[in-house]
Structure 1
Amino acid sequence: IVYGLGRTSVREIQEQHVDREINFTPMLRDRVGQHLYGERWATRIKQFILENGWQTRPIHIISANPHSVVNCLYAPAALAEATSWDNLFDLAYKLSQPAQQELRQQVADYAKTHGLHELEDPGGTNLLVQLIDTARLEARHLSKELAHDPKLIKSAQPLLLVMDYAFGEQAFETMDELLKPFEGDNAFTLHVASISIMGKAGILTGDKGDLMIPTSHIFEGTADNYPLDNDFTKADFEGHGIDVYEGAMITVLGTSLQNKDILAYFKNSSWKAVGLEMEGAHYQKAIQSHAKIRGSVQPDIKIRYAYYASDNPLLTGATLASGSLGTLGVKPTYLITMKCLEKILGKSPETRQSNPA
Structure 2
Amino acid sequence: MNKKPLHERTRAQESSNAIERMYITMRHLFNRGFYKPMGVSGETLREALLLLRPEIYGSIGEEKAELNGLLYVIDRLPYGIEECSYINLTSDEGYGSSHFKPIIPEKRRRNCYRIDEEQMNIEITRGRSEIYDILTHLTFLFIESHKISKRVVINEKGDTTRDWVKLEKAVLSSKKLTQPEREVAISHTANILGRTFNEITEVYRDFSSKKHPERFLNIIYWLGKLAIEEVVNNKKRAVTFSPVLRERLGHHIHGEIWANNIKEVLKKHNLLHRNIHIISANMHSVMNTIYAPKALKNLVAKNDIFDVYEALSNNDNKSLRNKVTNEALKNGMLFIEDASGTNINVQIFDTATIDFSHSDLKIDLDFIKEEKPLIFVMDYAFGEQAYETIDEFLKPFKVEDSKIKMNVDSVSIMGKAGILKGGKGDIMIPSAHIFEGTADNYPIKNRLSVKDLEGQGVDVYKGAMITVLGTSLQNKEILKFFHNSTWNVIGLEMEGAHYQKAIQAASKVRGNINSKVKVRYAYYASDNPLETGSTLASGGLGTSGVRPTYLITRTILEKIFNK
Matched, 1:155 2:374: no
Q: What residue is the counterpart of 2:128 in the other structure?
A: none
Name the one with the larger helix percent: 2
Alignment match of 1:188 (pick from 384, 404, 412): 404
Contact 2:333 2:349 in 1 (8 A): yes
Matched, 1:137 2:354: yes
Question: For the structure 1 residues 83 and 89, does the alpha-carbon distance in structure 2 shift closer, same or farther, using more than 3 Å as the test?
Answer: closer
Corresponding letter in the other structure for 1:42: A
Question: For the structure 1 residues 27 and 294, does the alpha-carbon distance in structure 2 shift closer, same or farther, using more than 3 Å as the test?
Answer: farther
Matched, 1:47 2:268: no
Greater C-alpha radius of gyration = 2
CA distance in 2, matches of 1:279, 1:288: 14
Q: What residue is the counterpart of 1:64 in the other structure?
A: 281
Matched, 1:77 2:274: no
Secondary structure at the counterpart of residue 140 of structure 1: coil
CA distance in 1, matches of 2:369, 2:488: 43
Contact 1:249 1:274 in 2 (8 A): yes
Tell me the CA shift for residue 81 of structure 1: 3.6
CA distance in 1, matches of 2:357, 2:508: 38
CA distance in 2, matches of 1:287, 1:93: 33
Q: What residue is the counterpart of 2:336 in the other structure?
A: 119
Matched, 1:250 2:250: no
Q: What residue is the counterpart of 1:309 in the other structure?
A: 525
Corresponding letter in the other structure for 1:217: H
Contact 1:152 1:345 in 2 (8 A): yes
Contact 1:140 1:150 in 2 (8 A): no
Tell me the CA shift for residue 328 of structure 1: 0.3
Matched, 1:176 2:388: no
Tell me the CA shift for residue 88 of structure 1: 2.0
Alignment match of 1:104 (pick from 299, 310, 321): 321
Instruction: Give me the TM-score of the superposition, normalised by structure 2.
Output: 0.55
Q: What residue is the counterpart of 1:91 in the other structure?
A: 308
Alignment match of 1:226 (pick from 442, 461, 464): 442
Matched, 1:335 2:536: no
Secondary structure at the counterpart of residue 414 of structure 2: strand
CA distance in 2, matches of 1:114, 1:160: 14
Paired-residue identity, %: 55
- More moved, 292-301 vs 266-275: 292-301
* Aligned residue pairs, count: 320
Contact 1:139 1:153 in 2 (8 A): no
Corresponding letter in the other structure for 1:132: F
CA distance in 1, matches of 2:356, 2:330: 14
CA distance in 2, matches of 1:245, 1:236: 12
CA distance in 2, matches of 1:43, 1:336: 29
Instruction: Give me the TM-score of the superposition, normalised by structure 1.
Output: 0.87
Tell me the CA shift for residue 82 of structure 1: 5.7
Q: Which runs of 5+ in 1 are unaligned?
A: 1-22, 348-357
Corresponding letter in the other structure for 2:367: L
Tell me the CA shift for residue 141 of structure 1: 2.1
Q: Which runs of 5+ in 2 are unaligned?
A: 1-242
Corresponding letter in the other structure for 1:108: T
Question: For the structure 1 residues 151 and 26, does the alpha-carbon distance in structure 2 shift closer, same or farther, using more than 3 Å as the test?
Answer: farther
How far does the alpha carbon of each residue in 1:182-241 deviate from its partner, in whole angstroms, 9 at most, with x for none?
013153111100000001100001111110000000000012111110001111111112
Higher relative contact order (CA 8 A, sep 6+): 1
Q: What residue is the counterpart of 1:323 in the other structure?
A: 539
Secondary structure at the counterpart of residue 258 of structure 1: coil
Contact 1:85 1:91 in 2 (8 A): no
